[in-house]
């Protein structure tokens, strides 16, 4: 990973949008800091699109989608989103890669897998935001409890043995059925918001993240940035961001924003 100071001005100058993780990227100790919030506003004022993409549930995301100066928030690793209408009202959107009957069957099966993990993995508990989830399950590993890496790996293995996708964020282990992920969610929301093909303009977007569930985005975007606390996950990462900030969490995101605003 290169220091963010080496991010070429020519690459920054061509950007017209930024995707970002939320937990431990925008937030610090579970809350957005004033410098990160001010950075979101400054980016919007400068004419840049800002779209957080998170593993958090859609219900958890709604107040932030309403209050933060962002174009939309994509939740549950790419499957559900809130976007702003022209009059600033929020519109809830579902990534339609499954019909209702399939989603219902998947939901029931996911609850069975979640209970299997709780029973078989010592210390495993459902994430406290589980009640708001519609298309995935989440096991807490670092938000309100602590699971060792061996237990995290065991939970991931159970999800994958059941045919689920599984990723590990800075706080949760997420599992789901279906083809969606953060990258598919980014492609989908760019089509929904702007009627454009993200793959045709990848070099015009940046991604900021902090953990293993950001690896697909790091591998896809040449303008990929990790906030400094990504150091915790480097031993588990197969794909690293190209650049890394000096600051951690919200301060790191603010550092990225300054680099863009000073382009």
pLDDT tens for each residue of 219-252: 999 999 999 999 999 999 999 999 999 999 999 9
What is the structure's pLDDT at 97?
A: 57
CA distance 253 to 208: 7
Nearest-angstrom CA–CA distance, 188 and 107 = 22
Instruction: Find the Cα–Cα–Cα–Cα dihedral 55, 60, 63, 65, rounded to 10°.
Output: 20
| pLDDT value of residue 229 | 98
CATH class of 100-176: alpha beta
Say yes or no to pLDDT of 92 above 80. Answer: no
The 10s digit of each residue's pLDDT in 172-206 is: 999 999 888 999 999 999 998 999 999 999 999 99
| Mean pLDDT, residues 32-38 | 96
Give the pLDDT confidence of 118-174 residue by residue, as tens digits.
999 999 999 999 998 989 999 999 999 999 999 999 999 999 999 999 999 999 999
CATH architecture of 2-96+180-261: 3-Layer(aba) Sandwich (3.40)
Position 207 pLDDT exceeds 90: yes
According to the model, what pLDDT value does residue 93 have?
73
Residue 96 has pLDDT above 60, yes or no: no
- The chain-wide mean pLDDT, for the chain, equals 94
Show me where the domains of the chain are located. 2-96+180-261, 100-176
Count of beta carbons in the 10 Å neighbourhood of residue 114: 23
Q: How confident is the model at residue 103 (pLDDT cuts 50, 70, 90)?
A: confident
Q: What is the pLDDT of residue 19?
A: 98
pLDDT, greater one: 150 or 92: 150
Q: For 158, phi and psi rounded to 5 degrees?
A: -65, -45
What is the dihedral angle through the alpha carbons of 129, 133, 136, 142, rounded to the nearest 10 degrees? Answer: -10
Would you give the DSSP letter of residue 30?
T
pLDDT in the model for residue 100: 79
pLDDT at 75: 94
CB neighbours (10 Å) of residue 75? 31
SS3 190: helix
């Amino acid at each position: 990973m290169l220091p963010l100071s080496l991010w070429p001005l020519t690459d920054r100058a061509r950007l017209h949008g930024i995707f970002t993780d939320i937990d431990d990227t925008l937030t610090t100790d579970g809350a957005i800091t004033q410098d990160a919030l001010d950075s979101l506003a400054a980016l919007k004022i400068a004419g840049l699109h800002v779209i957080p993409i998170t593993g958090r549930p859609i219900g958890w995301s709604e107040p932030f989608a309403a209050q933060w100066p962002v174009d939309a928030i994509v939740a549950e690793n790419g499957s559900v989103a809130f976007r702003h209408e022209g009059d600033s009202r929020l519109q809830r959107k579902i990534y339609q890669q499954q019909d209702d009957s399939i989603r219902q069957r998947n939901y029931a099966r996911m609850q069975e897998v979640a209970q299997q993990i709780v029973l078989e993995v010592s210390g495993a508990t459902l994430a406290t935001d589980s009640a708001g989830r519609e298309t995935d399950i989440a096991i807490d590993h670092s938000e309100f409890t602590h699971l060792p890496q061996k237990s995290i790996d065991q939970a991931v293995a159970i999800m994958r043995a059941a045919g689920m996708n599984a990723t590990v964020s800075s706080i949760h282990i997420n599992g789901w059925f279906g083809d969606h992920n953060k990258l598919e969610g980014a492609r989908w929301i760019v089509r929904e918001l702007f009627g454009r093909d993200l793959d045709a303009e990848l070099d015009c977007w940046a991604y900021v993240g902090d953990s293993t569930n950001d690896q697909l985005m790091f591998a896809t975007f040449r303008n990929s940035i990790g906030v400094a606390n990504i150091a915790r996950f480097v031993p588990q990462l197969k794909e690293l961001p190209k650049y890394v900030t000096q600051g951690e969490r919200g301060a790191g995101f603010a550092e990225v924003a300054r680099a863009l605003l000073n382009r």
